[in-house]
Structure 1
């Protein structure tokens, strides 16, 4: 039988060492994840490392180093899909990225072990653990640091005041004048200022303006009938 013909004790011992190393190292990575109660913990990381080692070791035994290299590429892709399942979106927040990256690291450790690169597998394990433990205090310190300076881009708006009966006509005039000056309007808001006046506020797409150009456009708006006041303003957005 082919199964008995394929029995090779030295090769079997080599596989046992490779897969055993992957199991121990994957368990070590998973232990840290389980201790922190992450979704992919002890068993998941151990299984990923063992499976990667088995695939690479089998390819190495059946087809040599070239076949093992091809299988490593498939392992990388396959674990990428597995990691995607650990990533979740909650509102504006995305969680699970670190867990997915750790699974990828466990696969790398297993692939090294399966390729009989045990020292490299150990080194990879140490660096994965260091990333999840030694860097954690640094991340927490940065996250707790107060933001001392607001950083953002500028927001510009053109304001025009007119009588209530003129605001529809002047709204079109305002938009056309700003587009002609190469400052298209992003948003237009109409606000009542009592019963005798209406303010039009045109927020611009531009995050930087030429003051002389915008002054010229506003001066042109002041010349239209019904315009009581026209000016532009700028502010910083976070």
Structure 2
């Protein structure tokens, strides 16, 4: 194309399809791992970014030769990078023990950048970036689970009634399994006491679990304590 301000319909279609493909590859990985933003979201973000980049470069070509008109192809691209932050913020959740969704928010941001690169015809960078993102999300995730999984803090919640010594029993069970307690909170929900069952207790513990121990085994041990009626691990 000799004219940098002109693009034919074939190249427009090609760029949009490439954006759909690359965004879909990253979105598939997120969908496969049950994250908030999945296949369709990543496709739409990449496709929309590519379209906006095409519009920014070629959509105003009729005004290029007008006097006192300055065409800036980067202006709309800047707006995309800023605006994608609002979408990414919707995938970030605070669960009480940690913040989740940061990786998915980052993947949306990168997918938007990939879409802009495709819209600008920067195919090599877009493809290489997609491959690197997939390696980061898949390969490094496997490495992280294998070597760092046992160092993550998890939230253990225990609900029981009529157990004033709940903390001692739970601590003994965890210590026996080599589980480290980082932080604990004990809450009591009192009613006018007619019997011991009117006292409901909730114990929240931030724990570090050795890798060989699976959450079901921990829950089974805690559930065996007399008076415990609910156990959850996040």
TM-score w.r.t. structure 2 length?
0.55
Bigger fraction of residues in helix: 1
Q: Which residue of 2 aligns with 1:32?
A: 29
- Check 1:102–1:66 CA distance in 2 against 1; reply closer, same or farther (3 A cut): farther
1:80-110: per-residue Cα shift (whole Å, max 9, x none)? 1110111011113111101101111111111
Question: What is the aligned partner in structure 2 of residue 69 from structure 1?
Answer: 74
Give the corresponding residue for 1:128.
Answer: 133
Deviations 1:119-140 (A, max 9, x none): 2111111111111011112222
Asked if 1:81 is matched to 2:81, the reply is: no
Aligned residues of 2:16 and 2:50 also touching (Cα < 8 A): yes
Pairwise CA distance, 1:34:
1.1
Give the aligned partner of residue 15 of structure 1: 12
2: distance between equivalents of 1:80 and 1:63? 26
Q: What is the Cα-based RMSD across aligned positions, in Å?
A: 2.3
- 2:42 aligned with 1:42, yes or no? no
Residues in 2 aligned to 1:126 and 1:66: alpha-carbon distance in whole angstroms: 33
Q: Which has the larger radius of gyration?
A: 1
Structure 2: segments with no counterpart, 5+ residues: 1-5, 62-69, 153-234
User: Quick one: structure 1 residues 146 and 128, their matched pair in 2 at CA, closer, same or farther if it must change by over 3 Å?
Assistant: closer
| Deviations 1:187-237, CA, capped at 9 Å, x for gaps | xxxxxxxxxxxxxxxxxxxxxxxxxxxxxxxxxxxxxxxxxxxxxxxxxxx
CA distance in 2, matches of 1:144, 1:23: 33
Q: State the match for 1:144 in structure 2.
A: 149
TM-score, normalised via structure 1 length:
0.54
Q: Which runs of 4+ in 1 moved over 3 A?
A: 63-66, 144-147
Q: How many residues align?
A: 140
How far is the alpha carbon of 1:11 from its aligned partner?
2.1
Matches within 5 A, 1:67-216: 67-144=72-149
For residues 156-211 of structure 1, give each alpha carbon's deviation from its aligned partner in whole angstroms, at most 9, with x where no partner exists.
Answer: xxxxxxxxxxxxxxxxxxxxxxxxxxxxxxxxxxxxxxxxxxxxxxxxxxxxxxxx
